[in-house]
Structure 1
Amino acid sequence: MKNRKKTSRFVYRLRVICLTGFICTITAWGFPVQSQETTSEESTTPAAITTEDIEIPVDELELLVKPLTKQELEVEAQAWLLLLKEKVTEISNAEIAIKRKNREAQQAQEAVEALEEAQKKLEQANEAEDNNTESSQKVEEAQEALEEAQEAVEEAVKAEEQIQQDEQLQEAVDSALEEQGDEDKKLLINQGEETVGVEEAQEATENIEEAAASLENIEAGGDDADTEKELEAVSKKLEEAAESTSEVKTQLVVNVTELQEQRVAIVDRFNAVLEELQEKGGEVEAYDLYIKSVSGIDIDVTDTEGLWVRVVGWIQSEEGGLRWLVKIATFVGIVTASVIVAPILRMLTNRSLALVGGISDIFRLFIVRVVWQGTIVLGVFLALTAIEVNLGPVLALIGGASFILAFALQSNLGNLASGLMIMLYKPFDVGDEVKLGDIWGFVDSIGLANTKVRGFSGQISTLPNNSVWGSVITNNTAGETRAVSFSLKVGYNEDIPKIQELLLDVIRSHPLVLKTPAPSGMVWELADYYVNVLAKGWTKNSDYWTAYSDLMNQIKARLEQEGIAVPTPKQRIQVEEGFNGKTTQLLTETPEPVTASNK
């Protein structure tokens, strides 16, 4: 029995040992495999090449990324994103340090003011020694001022401790202190004082702490004379601390200005990579939003000293004021050039269209105006690109607005299209005598939306171009000459050839009637009770209405002279008796009098 138990234990242990060995073997094999896979994965991930030199010129960077594939450009974009993020983090830490240094300096200044108030109250208490009540009151007021001073100093100490405890903020402050000895930066902040080193900054912190300890001793009580001396010493330490803090803060502002300049340079190169990535089908919207969100400049207008340092630094920065000076100069130059070139193109276009011929004056002037104004608008758009204005959203906005306006103003757009057709096909021009539907007169003006016609009585009729183009257009002055014609109705008993020759003789004798083409006449119509005789001559367009009026009077006088009767209306009354009574019937025969028509 015991042997069996020993055997079973041995077998169990053997199994455990084998299982443990198997697990260890598998684990040992697994680690190298995993390590090899990780190494393989890391080796297959391409490294960014454009960030090796972050100061590479933008034009060279554009050429460098041209042959890269979409996947490679995505790696480059991620690398530039990390660089931009690091730079923005540095700027944020420096800005936070500036705000806390401002708060520290403000608290120190408030403590100085409170100490001065306490010192003043103590002096008043010494002067009022005879009056115990007044003296006690002044002492209490001095004590309150001391408490306020201590609170302000404690806040200043707290702000300094927060900076020291935050490694990133302390790193920003240390960087500012290291660069404070640079003479160029000293000129930038326009200060002639001695630079403050790390030791003096630490001394400023120690001054605040010593001032806090001194205030505690003063509150513990003591001789008034000693108290006043201690107050003066504490006040002096606080003033030195405030001055040192202000200088450190100023250097922090200078550093922020330089960091912002570096950020602008990174953004320029980042945008070059993103433009190439977008052209090859990559998604860049998230990158653009990030750049937009971190590219702003926050300015504390209450910090007048820091504001001035920022302004001076930005003006002197190659990526700031100098850069924008070049851009603004480029913008003004392009706009000025477009304004100068536009009239030249307008003149050349006008002369070219005038030489072509067959184009209406209105259409020619319209094309000339489009060329002139279009050149200026194109120049403004090109100038906007010089100051880094993205025209994509602007053009998209214009396109969307155009679609909405086209849908809402369909009839107006129809008038515009009809106006262009009128200008292009030139059925009439300004000054022509036309009939447009029921309107008869002279064309006063032709616009894109409407046409104005001046009637014979001087009235102006404004017609939408859509209705003008859709109606029958009769131009009476389309050519250089115009026929003045007369239609005379005479009776069948008259000598028709004689009347026809009479009309032609009157027309030929008028000085405004042209010899060529010669006047002509014919029998136009044989009606029931009259014969219609037609005669016409040709005049210049400008002489038409004068000749027409004169010939009407001369024809009437000649007919009367020759004794030619014109058919007059005849009335015959016939009375008939019907079965239901008498009915009166009036029959009227009315031959038409002499008339004239223009053709």
Structure 2
Amino acid sequence: MSLRMHWSLISVAFFAFIIAFSYPVFANTESMQATSEDQNAASEKIEDRILAIHQELTKLVSMQNQVDGEDKLAMQLQMFQKNEQLRALIASSINRDDVAKPFLIKQVKQQQVYANEAIQYLIKRSSSLSQKLNDAKNEEVFGLLAEYEESRKYLDSMYEELSQNVAWLKELNALAPHEEDNLKQEVSQRSEQLAANIEYLRQQLNAEDAQLKVAPEAEKANLQLSKLVTQRRMSITTDSLKVMIDLSDAEGIPTAEYKRLYFEVTGSVTQDLLSGDVLLSIVKTWSSKFWGWLLENAPQHIFQLLVFLIILFIARFIANIARKVVKRAVASKNLNFSLLMQEFFISMSGKGVWFIGILIALSQVGLNLTPILTGFGIAGVIIGFALQDTLSNFAAGMMLLIYRPFDVGDYVAAGGVEGKVSHMSLVNTTIKTFDNQIIIVPNSKIWGDVIKNVTHERVRRVDMVFGVSYSDSIPHVEDVLNDIVTNHPAVLRAPEPMIKVHVLNNSSVDFIVRPWVKTDDYWDVYWDVTREVKIRFDKEGISIPFPQQDVHLHMQNDHALPSQPKDG
């Protein structure tokens, strides 16, 4: 009969007991006797099941001592499963209080013996597997690691069972005073041992990290495998510590230090960390480590920082000197560099020296420059693909530097814009128009288009055309124009100005007037001569014709009539 059927019989008996209240006393008594008999039968049935499982467990214990290897592991797994069934029956019996207490106390005592023996065995096995892991070859490591993890899990479960056994005995009023103290002592010792193991594994991981940084490539594979095993063992140990922390909290043992260590290793933030004791322990430990680190490493780091600052100061000083030397060199008339090229070399010399100085300073504080330089190379490739248009402008800027079609201060027509060049860089050119607009043109657009440099030469010719009437004397006009041009102070004597009859237009005779001037005086001469020509022509009686057309009308004689034919 199953356990559920026993519960059904008990329920039926309970309802029968309630209904029997309406019957006479003798009927009520008979019902109570029947219920008591059913309960006794159910109790005996549970006891029989407990004894049967206990006998099977005893048989498995004797059998596992006679086998070895995988068979022994299989037997141990069966023992564990059977014991779990046995403990489930004991727990349900204690909760229902339907089995005799002496019988249950005896079973719990046997569970205590079994748990203590299992703990001793699993501790020895874990220690043996740990030693094998240290001496194992690469191909054996992961198999041993799985066995090690399994044995530690069984060991943790045995401590949990030991704690539950004490709780059962306390509920059955059969707990001896020393048994609870022994449990607390074992849990405390176990927690301290796990904490010490975690600290050792942390040091081992730090040592392996340090070895990996300086190890040759041929040894890195073994070191990485060793680090992987250590990390796995750290995870297993922290899981065990978490079990001990829970047991310690249940037994009233202080766990602030263990929780602090668990948090430092795993980084897991739980509700326990919000307690004042844990936070205080974390603060104390971290502050102690910080001051210890500061006292141990402060002199060395202060010296490194001092060397770092000195190197930066020297690099800055040398960069300034380099700029001055390069500035003098590129300003030489023999080189004939443009202003943009001069600024480029001056800037690059200072920045190059400064960059090298920073790298040297960083190397003095222990920074490995190889990853940084490698990162710069990779970043350069990525940036090159991402900034193709910018690099095109940069290349065009370099071509403008080399061929120098214009310079800062020149008046140019380039990239569809006319104006004075106010600033040039390797990426773009800033042009300021005569109406004071600032236009920034990409260098690629300037280099890919026609460039007209108006003010590149120091001397320019002013081209002007003036028209006079056909009735005016050509020699007189030439004399007046020549007088106007030669008397202007900004007109150069050499090359000589040119004044010639140019075109006989429909309404005027056009003269070309082409004096030579300095580039800066171009517009002043143009405007002054134009004004003076109008004034002198009016004074000399020379007319400036405007477009006109003469219309000649020929009238026909209306009095002459054609002759009429005569009648015949």
| TM-score under structure 1 length normalisation | 0.49
8 A Cα contact 2:323 2:347, kept in partner: yes
Identity of aligned residues (%): 21
8 A Cα contact 1:173 1:252, kept in partner: no
Partner residue of 1:535?
A: 514
Cα deviation code 1:242-267 (max 9, x no counterpart):
44444434443443344345424533
- Shift of the 155–369 alpha-carbon distance from structure 1 to 2, 3 Å rule, reads farther
Which deviates the most, 549-558 or 350-359?
350-359
Amino acid at match of 1:304: R
Partner residue of 1:401?
A: 382
1:358 to 336, 351, 356: 336
Kindly indicate whether structure 1 or structure 2 has the higher relative contact order, using CA contacts under 8 Å at least 6 residues apart: 1
Aligned partners of 1:439, 1:451: CA distance in 2, in Å? 11
Aligned partners of 1:445, 1:488: CA distance in 2, in Å? 39
8 A Cα contact 2:315 2:354, kept in partner: yes
8 A Cα contact 1:491 1:530, kept in partner: yes
Offset of 1:368 from its aligned partner? 3.2
Partner residue of 1:387?
A: 367
Q: Counterpart of 2:419 in 1: which secondary structure? A: strand
8 A Cα contact 1:418 1:465, kept in partner: yes
1:256 to 187, 193, 201: 201
Aligned partners of 2:111, 2:546: CA distance in 1, in Å? 123
- Shift of the 571–524 alpha-carbon distance from structure 1 to 2, 3 Å rule, reads closer
Q: Counterpart of 2:515 in 1: which secondary structure? A: strand
Offset of 1:430 from its aligned partner? 2.7
Partner residue of 1:50?
A: none
Offset of 1:557 from its aligned partner? 0.8
Structure 1: gaps of 5 or more residues? 1-135, 175-204, 278-283, 578-599
**Does residue 1:522 correspond to 2:529, yes or no?**
no
- Shift of the 312–436 alpha-carbon distance from structure 1 to 2, 3 Å rule, reads same
Amino acid at match of 1:538: V
8 A Cα contact 1:338 1:376, kept in partner: yes
8 A Cα contact 2:411 2:454, kept in partner: yes
Amino acid at match of 1:522: I
Partner residue of 2:126?
A: 166
Q: Counterpart of 1:525 in 2: which secondary structure? A: strand
Q: Counterpart of 1:390 in 2: which secondary structure? A: helix
- Shift of the 490–376 alpha-carbon distance from structure 1 to 2, 3 Å rule, reads same
**Does residue 1:215 correspond to 2:166, yes or no?**
yes
Partner residue of 1:443?
A: 421
Aligned partners of 1:369, 1:289: CA distance in 2, in Å? 47
Amino acid at match of 2:347: R
Q: How many residues align?
A: 378
- Shift of the 431–220 alpha-carbon distance from structure 1 to 2, 3 Å rule, reads closer
1:565 to 543, 548, 551: 543
- Shift of the 482–218 alpha-carbon distance from structure 1 to 2, 3 Å rule, reads same
Structure number with greater Rg is 2
Aligned partners of 2:487, 2:113: CA distance in 1, in Å? 119
Partner residue of 2:403?
A: 425
Offset of 1:234 from its aligned partner? 4.3
Q: Counterpart of 2:332 in 1: which secondary structure? A: helix
Partner residue of 1:36?
A: none
Cα deviation code 1:471-524 (max 9, x no counterpart):
33222222445444533334565444543443343334444x166647523326
**Does residue 1:415 correspond to 2:366, yes or no?**
no
- Shift of the 438–448 alpha-carbon distance from structure 1 to 2, 3 Å rule, reads same
Offset of 1:377 from its aligned partner? 4.7
Cα RMSD over matched residues?
5.5
Offset of 1:563 from its aligned partner? 1.5
Cα deviation code 1:76-129 (max 9, x no counterpart):
xxxxxxxxxxxxxxxxxxxxxxxxxxxxxxxxxxxxxxxxxxxxxxxxxxxxxx
Aligned partners of 2:331, 2:130: CA distance in 1, in Å? 76
Aligned partners of 2:493, 2:428: CA distance in 1, in Å? 38
Aligned partners of 1:422, 1:568: CA distance in 2, in Å? 47
Aligned partners of 1:332, 1:160: CA distance in 2, in Å? 61
Q: Counterpart of 1:570 in 2: which secondary structure? A: coil
Offset of 1:327 from its aligned partner? 12
Structure 2: gaps of 5 or more residues? 1-96, 135-155, 239-256, 265-281, 556-568
Cα deviation code 1:400-426 (max 9, x no counterpart):
4145336xx3x5433322222223322
Partner residue of 1:465?
A: 443
Aligned partners of 1:349, 1:291: CA distance in 2, in Å? 56
Cα deviation code 1:437-456 (max 9, x no counterpart):
65332223334343333333
Amino acid at match of 1:446: M
Aligned partners of 1:457, 1:286: CA distance in 2, in Å? 72
